[in-house]
Amino acid sequence: MKPLDGVLIADFSRVLAGPYATMLLADLGAQVVKVERPGIGDDTRAWGPPFADSTATYFLGVNRNKQSVALDFTTAEDAALARELVRRADVVVENFLPGTMDRHGLGYEQVRELNPGVVYCSITGFGADEGAGLPGYDLIVQAVGGLMSVTGETGGSGTKVGVALVDVVTGLHAAFGIMAALRHREQGGPGQRVEVSLLTSLLSGLSNHSSGYLAAGVVPRALGNAHPSIAPYEVYQAADRPIVIAAGNDRQFERLCAALGAAELAADPRFGGNRERVAHRDELAAELNRLLSARDADAWFTALSAAAVPCGPINDLAEAFALAERLGLGAVAEVEDPRRDGPLRQVAHPIAFSETPATYRSAPPRLDEDGAEIRRLLAHYARTAQSHGTE
């Protein structure tokens, strides 16, 4: 028994935020029918390199455990099948520009007439009102939403985060909202619309920066790898390569100084408390870099970790997965795919459940791979509904 067994999700989303949300739900047992454009499919099918067996790994990363059907909403037959799908679905997810689904008879109010209990999740870039016409690309939201202004070197023009982080955060918010709405319905409440935007998700995700602005009027700026409110909390230079140290309180700072063989630093008035260390961040960094230059980063990682000082080298992704494996975190899933020579290796579902673990039932589908089966099933349901006078 999986947590979302019996939940049918009609997934009209594409690219990243929506597909990421629906994949997380599919991992927990939901049946996800991915509706795609005939002949083209999800844009990310072509977003490469890299490719794996001619399929973009961008697409593969967020579309396992799904079925694919290609529907052309401009044709009467496919439009009727799409309406039948949303009529039967527990959840509808879409991330078109506001108004697009309405033009095809698939907007929230239209779907609610067919399916009063539906949980209808709309993902937009900037909402459905004044920002309705603005396209929701992660890079654009990173820019206008303030993330780039706090990322990069001091005095720089702004740097994007190296992954579409806003899409991922928005996908998490969408999945969270869907689960809450399903729980509300399970308790006897009605279906409802769940709206998530990239901009509001980013503003929420900016957390301490957003709080600092709203509560104290402070507009943060980029500080490179330093933290605006904590020191030492940045990148330092060991003998061979950089190492990150994140001493978040006075006790950790004292242990750091002792492990570096410089206990006197903790008694220095410039570094006696976090406020003082932040005010004298540059002087502190110079002292730490001088001490750290005596040993390699891996040696310091071992020594400082043993002293309970939060730290770590700057790993590449291969080293990061190796660390996760060494720690026994189970970060890699192998998804069986008869179309490939061996299983497809993917990032595992990030949540570990003691009783209902995520499952990997199928690899990401080829475009319209399940189209014939889904079309037959939806046509059967439509005929049955008509014969019973329910539509």
Q: Does domain 233-237+242-313 have CATH number 3.30.1540.10?
A: yes
pTM score, two decimals?
0.92
pLDDT band at 291 (very low <50, low <70, confident <90, very high): very high
For the stretch 201-213, pLDDT in tens is: 999 999 999 999 9
For the stretch 142-169, pLDDT in tens is: 999 999 999 999 998 999 999 999 999 9
pLDDT at res. 389: 58
Query: Which token pair is 252?
Result: 């950790």
Query: Which token pair is 226?
Result: 């330093």
Phi-psi region of 44 (alpha: psi -120 to 50; beta: other; left: phi over 0): alpha
Q: CB of 128 within 8 A of CB of 98? A: yes
The secondary structure of residue 366, as a DSSP letter, is: P
For the stretch 309-364, pLDDT in tens is: 999 999 999 999 999 999 999 999 999 988 888 899 999 999 999 999 999 999 99
Domain spans, the chain: 8-206+360-387, 233-237+242-313
For the stretch 55-105, pLDDT in tens is: 999 999 999 999 999 999 999 999 999 999 999 999 999 999 999 999 999
Q: How many Å separate Cα 73 from the centre of its chain? A: 29
| Residue 307: closest CA among 359, 254, 384, 268 | 254
pLDDT at res. 342: 87
The yes-or-no answer on residue 167 being catalytic is yes
Rounded-to-integer distance, Cα 52 and Cα 59, Å: 10
Other residues' Cβ atoms within 10 Å of the Cβ of residue 239: 13
Rounded-to-integer distance, Cα 374 and Cα 266, Å: 67
Q: CB of 387 within 8 A of CB of 89? A: no
What CATH number is given for 8-206+360-387 in this structure?
A: 3.40.50.10540
Query: Which token pair is 301?
Result: 């990682």
Q: Which residues contact 373 (CB under 8 A, 6 or more apart)?
A: 67
Quick check: do 8-206+360-387 and 233-237+242-313 share a fold?
no
Residue tagged active-site, from 90, 167, 368, 370 = 167
Query: Which token pair is 370?
Result: 């399940």
Q: CB of 156 within 8 A of CB of 146? A: no
Instruction: Report helix, strand or coil for 58.
Output: helix
Average model confidence (pLDDT) across the chain: 95
Q: For residue 319, with 0-12 CB atoms within 10 Å meaning exposed, 13-18 middle and 19 or more buried, which class applies?
A: exposed
